[in-house]
Every structure is written in structure tokens, then in C-alpha cells.
Amino acid sequence: MPEEKYPEGWMVVDHIIPGVTAEMLDWWWVNMEKGYELWCPDEHKGFKWEVMPPLGGHIGAVQIATESIDYSPVMDIRIEWVDPNLGTKEQKDFWTYEHLLAAAGPMDPQSGTRPSVVLSHQWETIPGGCKMRSCMHALPGGPPDGPPPGPIPPHPSGKKPTGGGWPVHNIAEVSTFKAFLPALWGIWQAVSDPSINRQCSLKIKKEGSKIIYVK
């Protein structure tokens, strides 16, 4: 089977997640404050919603995640869940799974340009769990200007960067889903108030070039 080719700069990671359903992953993306540190305990150090997910949906939610990437310095990263129709044709052609989440980095306040999709996750059910494809399309905020001045502070875990960057971090995150998400999702089924236990469908269908979320 020929190896898939992606646009230059894209970082694509494929996962198999046993014991996790597509419904659990849909739920997770709008309820991350309930267990963000569980998702990647070494690197995730805090989470808050700057803008809460809308009732029954997710587009427009803004998160501030306090974390490191591959044991780099811990920082606050601002990410917004966005309409995937902001994506390019290449991105829309790439999104072929049944469920999709698209994210953008911070908008430039000076230019006021619309945010572009920099990160996506897509997933669908397979026997025994889900398969998932994560892609960093571009670094949020553009490429870094260079290392910060002065010595880099040690990571709280004592571990050092592997040099693998975001793909290594993504593998570390997704590999923990099977250990905590089924239990966390199950506990929260006791809470019926949708403003507290938020519900969301991230299943999509395509109508021409338009992507639509369906129940």
C-alpha cells in the first residue's frame, strides 16, 4: 500500500483507542475541565474555559490549557474550537472520518483576520473501540521566533525533551484515553443537567464542499 502524502509541514499521527466510543470522544472535547490533567499527567498542569462551549455545541469555545509540549517549558496555550468550513480544500479532503474537531490558534488582534485551522482530530468507531487521526496543520500563532532568552527551566516532572515535539506529545495524550475516559464518562452520566454535563455531537456529513454537524 503506498504511503499517504500530506502537505509540507503537516504532522499526522494515527491512533487505535481500545474501549473508547465515538460518543465518549464527542463528550470529552466539551468537558475537558473534568479531567484535563488525567489526559497527560506529566505535561498537563491546568485547564480553564475562557469561553464555555455553547449549549449542545462546541464552535466558539475557547480554552486556556496550561501544559508543556514534549517536556518543554510549561505555558498557557489558547485554542478555539472552530467551524471546519474555515479549512482549506486540502484540509477538507483530508477529513474523511465520521467525527471531526477543528481548532484554531489565537487571532491576530492587529490584522483581525479570521482564524485558520491549525489542529484537527477526526475519529470513528471500529470493532472494540475507535480509530483516530490527529494533525497539526500549523503551529498555533505561527512558527516560534526562537528559544526564550536565558536557560530553559527544568520540566516539573524532571524529564527532558525527547526532540519529538508535538507528535510525541500527541501520542502521550491519546494513549491515556483508554485508561481514564470510559470511567470518567460513566461517572458523569449521573448528572443530567446539560449546562454542567455538556452534550455535543461531532458527527459530520459533507454536502459538496460544506461540512455539517449532525445529531
Taking residues 166-180, what's their average pLDDT?
A: 97
If one compares 1 and 25, the residue with the highest pLDDT of the two is: 25
Beta strand residue intervals within 61-176, DSSP E: 62-67, 75-82, 99-104, 117-126, 129-136
CA distance linking residue 29 with residue 53, whole number of Å: 9
Taking residues 76-80, what's their average pLDDT?
A: 94
Question: How high is the pLDDT of residue 110?
Answer: 61
Question: How high is the pLDDT of residue 3?
Answer: 62
If one compares 138 and 93, the residue with the highest pLDDT of the two is: 93
* pLDDT of 194 higher than 70: yes
Q: What is the CATH number of domain 11-142+166-214?
A: 3.30.530.20
CA distance linking residue 80 with residue 102, whole number of Å: 9
Q: What percent of the chain has pLDDT over 70?
A: 88
Confidence category of residue 105, pLDDT binned at 50, 70, 90: confident
Alpha carbon separation from 50 to 19, 77, 96, 133, 195 (Å, rounded): 31, 11, 30, 26, 16
The number of residues in the chain equals: 215
- Whole-structure pTM over 0.85, yes or no? yes
Confidence category of residue 28, pLDDT binned at 50, 70, 90: very high
Share the mean pLDDT of the chain. Answer: 90
Taking residues 33-55, what's their average pLDDT?
A: 96
CA dihedral 60, 42, 174, 162 (to 10 degrees): 110
Confidence category of residue 154, pLDDT binned at 50, 70, 90: confident
If one compares 108 and 27, the residue with the highest pLDDT of the two is: 27
Confidence category of residue 108, pLDDT binned at 50, 70, 90: low
Question: How high is the pLDDT of residue 114?
Answer: 63
